Amino acid sequence: MPLGYVKFPYQATYPGDNEVTADSIFSGITTFARLPWSQCLTDKTADFDIAFLGAPFDTGTSYRPGARFGPSGIRAGSRRLTLYGGYNVPLETNPFKMLKVVDCGDIPVTPYDNARAIQQIEDGHKELLHRTPYSPLGNDSLTGQPLIPLSLDGKHHPRVITLGGDHTIVLPLLRSIYSAYGAISVIHFDSHLDTWKPSVFGGSDSKGIGGGALNHGTYFYWASQEGLINNGSSIASHGAIRTTLSGPADYENDDTAGFKRIEAREIDTLGVDGIVAKIRETVGDKPVYLSIDIDSIDPAFAPATGTPETGGWSTRELRAIIRGLDGLHIVSADIVEVAPAYDTNAELTTMAAADVLFEVLGIMAKTPLGKVASKA
């Protein structure tokens, strides 16, 4: 066990206010933000409030492969997140001190059989999602009344932040989420729709997930077909949608899948606050799943991705928009399509991905997944 860790609770000893910081962040094994490494998938007794979990899968890509190395790259980019202690100034919180957060390593994913890999990802995520959280749900901060879980199964679940991998992994992740929450609202940051019909994107009508029908451009189509998405309560590709299309029918299909769009260029007229307002108006206070494609950020800031599109948002803009989601009930999240082989020597993309997740982590820590019984 690395120096500076304590076993009970199994949490890194991050410095607090006015304590010594800037320890050697480049030593030891590389976990997300130097979190404790827990063998969650094999140790059935391991508990946590939030777990980071890698899904190194990239055989659903249409252009540049390499996202199977995304989990390790994002972890490397996160090393300096706690250099000064981990306190998030805009969100006024230190998530590393509020909850038990661990790095559970990676799901063992085969690169030879897509159908098997998809099942492995669903099983791995579901195994962690159905653990008993380390911390109790607690009471409402305003009324003092006990909180009850938001899940449909009536249980309090921990949260899992998945490190992709290409965006195909979201279909098995949503299947896992459905097992606890039912059909879920989705906030999706991306430059692409990802609701394409398989006959258009991949050239296959087959329902088998081992072929071209399921890939990183069709997984939301299948999620909608399977009833995993709360249609009409979703934001699709609002994180800088700016892709070319096969034609207007792609948008019609996107509408049918239940998604609403915010184009990348709308930030020039709406600004960050306007983008946030449109998202919050759509999802309301429903439980929500957050999926972030790193290509929502312009390649000037995050070049290491499978299908880069110019004209995107800056890292600063995306982080500000995510902070604007403060108070939403984000049940789990992912960041995908980070392909470190295309990054700069300065690790621009992997650092951007880690910093985006730092904002997500802060929101999760501040907002418990519960509601007052009288408001149920």
The answer to whether 238 is a known ligand-binding residue is: no
The answer to whether 326 is a known ligand-binding residue is: no
Strands 147-149 and 50-55: unpaired
CB atoms within 10 A of CB 182: 14
- Sequence-separated (6 or more) residues with CB below 8 Å from residue 86: 14, 33, 94, 95, 96, 97
Strands 5-6 and 11-12: antiparallel
How far does Cα 275 stand from its chain's mean position?
Answer: 19
* CB distance 67 to 165 below 8 Å: yes
Which tokens go with 95? 């998530």
Query: In a 10 Å sphere around its CB, with 0-12 CB exposed, 13-18 middle and 19+ buried, how is residue 346 labelled?
Result: exposed
**What sign results for the dihedral spanned by CA atoms 191, 197, 198, 202?**
negative
The answer to whether 167 is a known ligand-binding residue is: yes
Binding positions for Mn(2+) are 167, 190, 192, 194, 293, 295
Task: Please report, in range form, the residues annotated as the binding site.
Answer: 167, 190, 192, 194, 293, 295
